[in-house]
Structure 1
């Protein structure tokens, strides 16, 4: 059931130390369908053990959040209270079409988020290394049902000195330039 007047959070998480996950990932690492080299460094999948702080940040800084959709390959932190009423555990198999599974590609995981069962029409996406550090309100993210901010990835912008991140994040530009308007009103 999708809702229109509530805001959810989607967070993706992986435990790169999980031996079962590693085994599955290694089976697909050099598959025949892989068209290009990928960034497969250990730090991309490492669990930095700071997820408790992420949840604490949401609890303290955004208590208005309706649900937290915790997207995972299938493993969970041992300490996670899976019975919390605001928590929805979402495995890749719960929302990604079978033809794209198994996946270890963040784009596949992100591009299918709209398929998460019960996800609100309005949601905010977090990686597990993005934290809320001060109190926020719903209007920091949505106004009149529209997002107030947007993120643009510019893959063609030259950043040749860094082959891992050859793009530039453009974020908050609209909020700074036009605090009274949403990005969608500008275009």
Structure 2
């Protein structure tokens, strides 16, 4: 059974484009059924519409608080019978109740090798730390920011002379490759969340 996926965006949605492209393959286990943005001017909405994908805008500024916004977002997802949610540059912090409702069914990609360099400016953090390897992580979303159990990671070298821009570009290329891999693993049941741990087809990995 093919999973129905919603992608949440706030801007251009470059990772959204890689997911859309991947799901065009006949044997891919998921289809993008909806793209939702909290901003009406998000460029990714046009990209999704051009690909024939239904879109919706749930403007966060139109709600008195995060809970009311999340309730409206949940209604949109329910109306489209969504199975899995992918965050792709979605710049809103979701309420704990929303995250718990989608526990094990909501994914994010973060541009670092989590648990290293959580939060903002991970490339600057990596350069300041002097590491020689950096990368990106697809993980399950939990209420704590960038703390969900890992599904899959990819590494890139940190090269002499790198700045934030050059390192970010190298990581972004891996993000575009990796996110479809992680989504497919969850859609096929090859990776699932149990408690605070990702379980891979019969064996557990540390969260």
Q: Name the TM-score class by shorter chain.
A: 0.3 to 0.5
Normalising by structure 1, report the TM-score: 0.40
The one of the two structures with greater contact order (alpha-carbon pairs below 8 A, sep at least 6) is 1
**More helix by proportion, 1 or 2?**
2
Normalising by structure 2, report the TM-score: 0.37
